């Protein structure tokens, strides 16, 4: 199972403008048929929620035949898939797979800070130490006002209007901001911020993203990083940005426990983690569960059901486990957090997760694009779907500019306080 949005959520790509040749048109038509037939035969719901999928084929085929660019084909395919109204469905242009990655690649240069939408504004939530952003003076809590000559507010308003009923609004807004901050390769960028005491314009250089570039299956190159430390009270803390690199994730858990001995509590920070390999969640759960036959939930497929059975460890940690999530925690992160919450094995802190938890597969199309499609529905252990709902924290801790400006992390603080009381 893979995540969708870190790969396919990048809107308005300025690519694919090459003229349409007869051979290219043939490959695009073959790709259209592949996308349409795959959904018809492999989607977990044979009725596709009541959609007239054959009628949609007849509607979109003439449009594909008349398309004048690969970009138009890309938009049409995603518009067709959008009729299903679900996550984990999308077509990504072939340029994202090129070795240099272009300006859209997830491993491309970054300024060194992260952002989240907060009450209609885009706020800086963290700044990497020694990054170009840190050296330029960017601080958590600042509001991002402009990227280059592009004001941020109209982008937020447009997406908010389009996705106002979606649990994935904040995720898509964040990804859109990430896209803007990656445009232009490794060139310095002009940014304007609201500091809480006025506005400031800065010229910020860019750096390679932290971690290492990884490639897996049909995913474009992306970066993987992992952080661990021991917090006061012998509490182990672990955070990684994506559910890839199984060996590194396993080592991360082991080293976090070893360094915190005697470990009195564990905090797994999944904020901003969009998902990845689904099976890693069942192995990760085993660090905290020693009983057999427990599961994180169930995948409902056309051919039958598949349980997310936890792989228990005989020496599993039995102390308090806190999991941090936010609106950019999706897919595998939601399955892990929701599953452990249902089992009563973890307490969840932060904000509601993205509600984008459908298991999926990524394949390459005849025209070279990547195509992600749904193969199953996911139900939590208590029987509810996470898609369009998300994981609701036991202790909701909303982001606020005031706390960010003070350099505080209230969700982490509340998790530590809860562990101390156990």
For 269-296, write each residue's pLDDT tens digit: 999 999 988 889 999 999 999 999 999 9
CB-based contacts of 38, cutoff 8 Å, min separation 6: 363, 371, 373
CA distances to 23, 38, 104, 276, 388 from 82, rounded to whole Å, are 27, 15, 21, 22, 14
Complete DSSP assignment for 85-104: --SS-EEE-GGGGSTT-GGG
Q: Which helix (H) or strand (E) holds 146?
A: strand 143-147
Do the beta carbons of residue 121 and residue 393 sit within 8 Å?
Answer: no
CATH code of the domain made up of 113-204: 2.30.42.10
Domain segments of the chain as ranges: 5-97, 113-204, 212-421
d(CA 166, CA 185): 31
d(CA 412, CA 11): 32
Query: What is the structure's pLDDT at 1?
Result: 42
Do the beta carbons of residue 234 and residue 264 sit within 8 Å?
Answer: yes
What does DSSP assign to residue 304? E
Helix (H, G, I), strand (E, B) or coil at 275: coil
pLDDT tens sequence across 185-204:
778 999 999 999 999 999 99
Domain range 5-97, CATH architecture: 2-Layer Sandwich (3.30)
CATH code of the domain made up of 212-421: 3.90.226.10
Query: What is the structure's pLDDT at 304?
Result: 86
d(CA 404, CA 126): 9
Which pair of structure tokens corresponds to residue 241? Answer: 């940005």
Residue that the structure tokens 């530590």 belong to: 416
Q: If 0-12 CB within 10 Å is exposed, 13-18 middle and 19+ buried, where does residue 126 land? A: middle
Q: Which helix (H) or strand (E) holds 135?
A: helix 132-136
pLDDT per position in the chain (422 positions), as tens? 443 333 343 333 333 445 689 999 999 999 999 999 999 999 999 999 999 999 999 999 999 999 998 888 988 998 999 899 888 888 877 655 443 333 344 446 899 999 999 989 999 999 999 999 999 999 999 999 999 989 999 989 988 887 777 788 898 889 889 888 987 777 899 999 999 999 999 999 999 888 998 877 666 778 899 999 999 999 999 999 999 999 999 999 999 999 999 999 999 999 999 998 888 999 999 999 999 999 999 988 888 888 999 999 989 999 999 999 999 999 999 999 999 999 999 999 999 999 988 888 888 899 988 898 888 888 988 888 888 899 999 999 999 999 999 999 999 999 999 999 99
Which stretches of 171-219 are assigned E, i.e. beta strand? 189-194, 199-204, 212-214
Q: Which residues pair with 297 in a beta bridge?
A: 380
Query: What is the structure's pLDDT at 10?
Result: 34
pLDDT tens sequence across 125-182:
999 999 999 999 999 999 999 999 899 999 899 888 877 777 888 988 898 898 889 8
Query: What is the structure's pLDDT at 94?
Result: 65
Query: What is the structure's pLDDT at 15?
Result: 39
CA distances to 162, 166, 171, 392 from 355, rounded to whole Å, are 17, 9, 10, 10
Which pair of structure tokens corresponds to residue 310? Answer: 């936890």
d(CA 58, CA 62): 7
d(CA 17, CA 282): 43
């Amino acid at each position: 199972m893979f995540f969708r949005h870190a790969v396919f959520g990048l809107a308005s790509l300025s690519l694919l403008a090459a003229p349409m040749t007869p051979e290219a048109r043939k490959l695009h038509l073959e790709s259209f048929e592949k996308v349409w037939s795959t959904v018809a035969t492999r989607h977990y719901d044979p009725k596709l929620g009541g959609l007239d999928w054959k009628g949609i084929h007849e509607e979109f085929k003439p449009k594909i035949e008349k398309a004048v660019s690969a970009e138009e084909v890309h938009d049409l395919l995603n518009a067709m898939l959008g009729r299903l109204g679900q996550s984990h469905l999308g077509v990504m242009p072939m340029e994202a797979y090129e070795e240099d990655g272009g300006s859209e690649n997830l491993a491309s240069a970054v300024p060194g800070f992260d952002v989240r939408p907060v009450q209609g504004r885009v706020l800086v939530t963290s700044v990497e130490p020694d990054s170009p952003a840190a050296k330029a003076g960017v601080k958590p809590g600042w509001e991002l006002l402009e990227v280059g000559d592009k004001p941020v507010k109209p982008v937020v308003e447009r997406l908010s209007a389009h996705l106002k009923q979606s649990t994935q609004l904040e995720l898509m807004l964040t990804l859109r901001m990430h896209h803007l901050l990656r445009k232009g390769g490794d060139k310095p960028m002009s940014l304007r911020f609201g500091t809480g005491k006025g506005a400031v314009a800065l010229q910020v250089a860019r750096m390679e993203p932290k971690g290492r570039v990884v490639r897996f299956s049909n995913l474009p190159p992306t970066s993987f990083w992992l952080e661990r430390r021991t917090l006061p009270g012998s509490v182990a803390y672990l955070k990684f940005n994506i559910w890839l690199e199984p060996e590194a994730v396993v080592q991360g858990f082991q080293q976090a426990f070893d360094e915190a001995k005697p470990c009195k509590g564990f905090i797994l920070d999944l904020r901003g983690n969009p998902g990845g390999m689904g099976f890693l969640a069942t192995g990760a759960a085993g660090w905290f569960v020693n009983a057999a036959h427990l599961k994180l939930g169930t995948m409902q497929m056309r051919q039958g059901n598949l349980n997310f059975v936890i792989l228990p460890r005989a020496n599993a940690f039995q102390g308090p486990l806190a999991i941090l999530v936010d609106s950019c925690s999706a897919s595998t992160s939601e399955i892990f957090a929701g599953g452990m919450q249902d089992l009563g094995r973890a307490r969840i802190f932060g904000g509601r997760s993205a509600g984008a938890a459908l298991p999926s597969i990524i394949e390459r199309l005849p025209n070279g694009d990547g195509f992600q499609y749904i193969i199953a529905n996911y139900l939590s252990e208590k029987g509810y779907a996470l898609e369009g709902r998300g994981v609701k924290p036991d202790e909701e801790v909303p982001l606020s500019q005031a706390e960010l400006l003070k350099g505080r992390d209230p969700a982490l603080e509340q998790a530590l306080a809860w562990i101390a009381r156990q």
